[in-house]
Structure 1
Amino acid sequence: MVAIVNRLVDKMTFSSDDKVVPNQVSFSEVDSTEEIHRRRGSVTEKKNVDEGSQRELIATSSCTDDDTLPSIAHPMEKRILKKMDMYLIPLMGALYFLSNLDKSNIGNAEVAGLSKDLELKGKEYNVCVTVFFGTYILFDPIGANLLKIMGPPMMMSLCLLSFGAISLCTAWVKNYPQLLVVRLLLGAFEGMIYPAINMYLSVLYRREQYAMRFAFIFSAACLSSSFGGLISYGCSKINGSLNAWQYIYIVEGAISIGFVPFYVFGLSNKLEDTWCFTKEEKEYIVERYKTMSTFNPDEKFEWFQVKLALKDIKTWVSAVALFGIDLTTFGLTVFLPIIITSMGFTNVRAQLMTVPVYFLTAITFFICAVWSDRIRLRSPFIMGACLTTCIGISIVLGSQKHAVRYFGVYILCMGIYVNAAVNCLWLSGNNGNYFKRATALGVNLFLGSGSGLVSGQIFLKGDKPRYIKGLSISLAFQFSSLVLTFVQFLLYRRENIKKQKIIDRCRELDQPIPYNERLSDLNPEFKYMY
C-alpha cells in the first residue's frame, strides 16, 4: 500500500510556487503562471493558512462553532435559503411547468383530434413529435452557457415568451408542413430551459442542498402532465368555433405568455442583487461564494474547461445512461394519453386518467430527492428508479388486462422522473468549474434529449393497442442505464480512493495538499458524491 501511495505522489508535477498539480492534466495544459486566487475545499501549508482557506475548511463541515463564517449551519444561511425557496424556486418551478406543458401538449392534442383535422397520414404525426427534439438537443448545450452570458432575467423571460407565442400560434396551423415548422421552433426555445434551470440551481445552492429544491422544480414536470390532462378535458367541453385541440394550444400558450413579467422583474443577474434580500444578507451571499465548491462568480469562459469535460469518461457514461432513461420518459410523456386510450377508455376519460399517474410520480420524486440530499447519495436512487421503471414496463407488456396494464403504468411512471433528474443533478454536482459543468451537462442533455428522436419512431400507430415494439425497446434501454449508472458509481468511487491516497501521503510527508484553481473538481480534496 505504501508503495502504491509513493508512486501516486511521484507522478505529481510541481509548479513554480511549489504547489502540486494532480497528474490527470499535464503541467503544460494548466499554465505555470496561473495565480491561484482562492483555495476551494483545500488547506494550504499548515503553518500559514490564509483567511480564504479557513473559510473553505469550515464551510465544508456540516456544522461549526464559529458563527462568523458562511457555512451550512450558519443562521444567515437559513435566512437566505428560506427566501430563495420562497421566491426563486417557485419561479423556476413555474418555468419548468410551463415548458413541459407546451412541450407535451401535442399528445393531448392528438387525442382531441389533431391528426384528423390536419389530415395527417402514415407516420406524419410521429415525425412531428420527433422533429421537436432535432432542435431541442442542439440548443441544450447553448442554454447552459447563455444563462451566464445573458443573465437569468433576459434569457429565461425571452425563452418563455417565445415558446408561449409559438404554442399559441400552433392553434392555427393548417397542414403537416406548418406543424413541422412550429415544432422545430418550439424545440429550439424549450431546449434551453432545462439546462438553464439546472445551472441556475448550481449557482444558488451548495451540492448537498439542491436535490430537494430541484424536486420541487422537477415535480412541476409531473404536475404539468396532470394539468395538461385537465386542460384538455376542459377544452373538450368548450362549444366554440374552434376544435378542442386548438383551444388546448390557445389556453396553454396564453398562460405561458402571461407569466413573462414575473421573470423580467423577479430575477436578477446576480443573486446578491435580488430584490428580496437585505443589505446584511447580500453581504453574506458574497462571502458565501467563497465557501461553495461549485461556483466562483469570477470564472471566465475558457476552452480548457470544455476540454476537461469532453475528456472525462464519466461525462459520456452519464450521457449514454440518460439516453436510455429519457427514451422512456419522452415516449411516455407524449404517448401516454394514446396508450391509455388503447386500453378501452374514451378520449376524454383518457385525459383524466393521466392525472393521478403523474401526481403519484411527483410525490415519489420529491421523497427520493429529499432522502438523496439527506444521505448525500445519488446512484442508489437512479438505479432503484430504473429497476422500478423496468418492472412497470414489464407489467404493461406482459398483461392483456386493462386494469393490470393501467397499474403497470403507475409503477413505471414512479421511476421515469427520478432517474432522469437525479442523473443530471449527480453530474452537475460533481463538476466544479461553471463552464466545465455547463459543457458536461450540455453533452449529457444532448444525448439524453436525442432519445426523443428515437421515441417518436418506436411508438407507432400500427403497434396499437399494446405498443410492444416501443415498450420493449424502452425496457432494454432502461436496464442498460441501470448497468451504466453502476459503472459510473465505480468510476467516482475509484477517483475518490485515489484522491484520498494523495491526501494521506501529503499529510504523511507534511507537504501542502495539491491544488490548482483551474482543475476544480480534479483537485484531491474535491470529493465526488456517489
Structure 2
Amino acid sequence: MTELSNKQIELVDRVIFDDTIQENSGQTDDNSLKEKTGGTFEYDQDVTATTTDDDGMPASSHPMEAKILRKMDMFLIPLMGLLYFLSNLDKSNIGNAAVAGMREDLKLVGNQYNTCVTVFFATYVLFDPIGTNLLKIMGPPTMMSCCLLAFGVISLCTAWVKNYRHLIAVRLLLGAFEGMIYPSINMYLSMCYRREQYAKRFAYVFAAACLSSSFGGLIGYACSKINGSLAAWQYIYIVEGAISIGFVPLYYFGLSKNLEDSWYFNGEEKEYIIQRFKTMSTSNPNEKFEWFQAWLAIKDIKTWVSAVALFGIDLTTFGLTVFLPIIIESMGFTSVRVNLMTVPVYFLTAIVFFICARWSDHIRLRSPFIIGACVTTSIGISIVLGSQVHGVRYFGVYILCMGIYVNAAVNCLWLSGNNGNYFKRATALGINLFFGSGSGLVSGQIFLASDKPRYTKGLSISLAFQILSIIMTFVQFLLYRRENKKKEAIIERCHELNEPIPFDPRLSDLNPEFRYMY
C-alpha cells in the first residue's frame, strides 16, 4: 500500500468530515474525490472487517473462530471477571465498613467520611488514562498482577488505620492502582474480540462488579458475627485484602503478553490468531504509539459527548455503590441487616446487565440500551425520592440499580468499538473514563450526612444528570449516523467513478468502509 503524506491524510479527513458532502453525493463532480485524496490509495482487504473465508483469511464465520472463542471464554473471561470482581470488592468496601462501625471507631465527624470517599477518585481519575496505555507497554500479566497485589495490600493495611488522616492516605493509594484496572480490562477485551463479540463477553466481566457488591454485603454480614479482638469493619478489610493478594499468581502466570502465546492454544490456533488480527477492525498487534492517533481522538467531538454522558451516568453509579448501604440503613434496618439487604439488589442488577449485553451484541445496537438504562435509573431515583414508605423506597432501589451498570458499561463499549486504532481508542477511552471517574469527586460531596435520611440533594442531582446523559447519548447517536451517511456517499461515488475506495490504516475508523455502531 502506498504510504500517505500528512497532507493526504488531512485531505481524507476532510472528505469524511466535510459537511458539504450530501447523502446522495449529487454535488460532487466526477473528479473531486480523486483530487481530494490524491488518487494514491489502495484498498487492502486483509485489514478490513469485510474479509471473508473465500479470501483465505479468518472471518467471524471461520470454523476456527468458534474454537478460539470457546477457549478465550473458558480461560480469559473468568480471569478478567475475577479481576474486576476483586477490584470492585476493595473499592466499595468502605460503604460496608462504615455501617459496621468504622466511622465511630475512627471518630469521623461532619463530612470527613464523604471526603474519604471523594479523595479515592482524585488518583483514580489520574490513572484511568495511564492504564489504557500502560497495558500495551507492560503487557497484561505484569500490569494486572502488579495492580492486584498493590490494591490487595493497601486494602489489607486499611484495617489498621487509626484516624481520618490515615484513611485519606490509603484511599489515595488505593485509587491510583484501582484506576488502571477497568480501562486495562476494557482495552484487553477490545484487542482479543471482534467488536460485535465483546459486549456479551464484557457482560460476564461487568456482572462481576454487581456480584462483588453482593459478595461485599455477605462479607460485611459475616464479619459482624465474628467475636474477635478486632472490630467488624477491620475484618472486612483483612478478609477482602487477603483474597485479592491470594489471586496474584493466577494473573502473573496465567496470562500472556500476546494473545497468540497463551498456554491454552495449540499451534494451529496460534497461527490462526496471528492471521485473525489482520481482519479485526479494532486490533493490530504491530501498532506503535504516535501522537497523530491521540490527536484524532482529542479533536473528535464524539469523544467529548460520550465523556459528558458517562459523567452523568457514573455520578449515580459511584454514589450508589458507596452510599447504598447507608441509604438502606436510613430506611430503618439495623446495621447488621443492611449489608445483607444489598445482596439481592446487586444480584438482580447482574442478571439485567447480562441480558442487555447479550441483546446489544445480537442486534448490534448500543444507544437504545444506554438510554433505556438511564430512563430506568431515573424512574428508580424518582421512587426513592418521592415515597415516604420504606418498603416502596427499597423497591425503588431495585429499579434504579437495574440500570446503573448497563448504561455505564455500554457507554464505554460503544466508544471502544467505534475507534479503530489502539492508541486512538486508548486516548478516547482515557478521556471518557477521566470524566466518568471524575464524577466520583462530586458524588462523595452530594450525599451528605446532614441530608440523612432522605438524601434529597444527592438523589436529585443524580436524577438531573441521568436526564443529561440521555440527551448526550442521543446526540452521540446522531453524530455516528451522520458520519455513516457521509461514508456511504463516498463509497457510492467511488463505485460510480470505478475508483478504489480510499483506505489507510493510520485513519482506522475514519476509513469509509468502517461502519460506526449505533
TM-score tier after normalising by the smaller chain length: over 0.9
Question: Aligned partners of 2:359 and 2:274: how far apart in 1?
Answer: 29
1:379 to 323, 345, 367: 367
- Change over 3 Å in CA distance of 1:511–1:453 after alignment to 2: same
Q: Which residues of 2 match residues 106-125 of structure 1 at below 5 A? A: 106-125=94-113
Q: Supply the AA of the counterpart residue of 2:315.
A: L
Q: Which residues of 2 match residues 144-163 of structure 1 at below 5 A? A: 144-163=132-151
Q: Which residues of 2 match residues 29-44 of structure 1 at below 5 A? A: 44=43
Conserved in 2, the CA contact under 8 Å of 1:132 and 1:186?
yes
Post-superposition CA distance 1:418-469 (Å, at most 9, x none) = 0000000000000000000000000000000000000000001111111000
Question: Aligned partners of 1:291 and 1:268: how far apart in 2?
Answer: 21
Please tell me whether residue 357 in structure 1 is matched to residue 345 in structure 2. yes
Please tell me whether residue 60 in structure 1 is matched to residue 58 in structure 2. no
Query: TM-score, with normalisation over the residues of structure 1?
Result: 0.92
Number of residue-to-residue matches in the alignment = 496
Please tell me whether residue 10 in structure 1 is matched to residue 21 in structure 2. no
Query: TM-score, with normalisation over the residues of structure 2?
Result: 0.94
Q: Which residues of 2 match residues 67-466 of structure 1 at below 5 A? A: 68-466=56-454
Question: Aligned partners of 2:334 and 2:29: how far apart in 1?
Answer: 69
Please tell me whether residue 483 in structure 1 is matched to residue 471 in structure 2. yes
Identity percentage of aligned residues: 77
Question: How many angstroms does 1:260 deviate by?
Answer: 0.2
Question: How many angstroms does 1:348 deviate by?
Answer: 1.0
Determine helix, strand or coil for the equivalent of 1:112: helix
Counterpart residue number, 1:35: none
Q: Supply the AA of the counterpart residue of 2:107.
A: E
- Change over 3 Å in CA distance of 1:8–1:327 after alignment to 2: farther
Question: How many angstroms does 1:60 deviate by?
Answer: 2.7
Question: Aligned partners of 1:332 and 1:266: how far apart in 2?
Answer: 34
Determine helix, strand or coil for the equivalent of 1:400: coil
Question: Aligned partners of 2:37 and 2:400: how far apart in 1?
Answer: 53
Post-superposition CA distance 1:87-114 (Å, at most 9, x none) = 0100000000000000000000000011
- Change over 3 Å in CA distance of 1:498–1:178 after alignment to 2: same
Question: How many angstroms does 1:13 deviate by?
Answer: 5.4
Question: Aligned partners of 1:444 and 1:382: how far apart in 2?
Answer: 15
Q: Supply the AA of the counterpart residue of 2:135.
A: L
1:498 to 468, 486, 490: 486
Q: Supply the AA of the counterpart residue of 1:436.
A: K
Determine helix, strand or coil for the equivalent of 1:113: helix
Determine helix, strand or coil for the equivalent of 2:28: helix
Counterpart residue number, 1:29: none
Determine helix, strand or coil for the equivalent of 1:295: coil
Post-superposition CA distance 1:300-354 (Å, at most 9, x none) = 0000011000000000000000000000000000000000000010111111110
Determine helix, strand or coil for the equivalent of 1:471: helix
Question: How many angstroms does 1:516 deviate by?
Answer: 1.4
Q: Supply the AA of the counterpart residue of 1:230.
A: L
Conserved in 2, the CA contact under 8 Å of 1:382 and 1:418?
yes
Conserved in 1, the CA contact under 8 Å of 2:108 and 2:164?
yes
Q: Supply the AA of the counterpart residue of 2:218.
A: L
Post-superposition CA distance 1:187-210 (Å, at most 9, x none) = 000000000000000000000000
**Pairwise CA RMSD of aligned residues?**
1.5
Determine helix, strand or coil for the equivalent of 2:437: helix
Question: Aligned partners of 2:459 and 2:37: how far apart in 1?
Answer: 55
Question: Aligned partners of 1:13 and 1:490: how far apart in 2?
Answer: 29
Determine helix, strand or coil for the equivalent of 2:135: helix
Question: Aligned partners of 1:501 and 1:123: how far apart in 2?
Answer: 57
- Change over 3 Å in CA distance of 1:313–1:511 after alignment to 2: same
Determine helix, strand or coil for the equivalent of 1:6: coil
Question: How many angstroms does 1:517 deviate by?
Answer: 1.4
Conserved in 2, the CA contact under 8 Å of 1:19 and 1:515?
no
Question: Aligned partners of 1:445 and 1:326: how far apart in 2?
Answer: 10
Question: How many angstroms does 1:66 deviate by?
Answer: 3.7
Question: How many angstroms does 1:505 deviate by?
Answer: 0.3
Question: Aligned partners of 1:245 and 1:313: how far apart in 2?
Answer: 45
Conserved in 1, the CA contact under 8 Å of 2:159 and 2:237?
yes
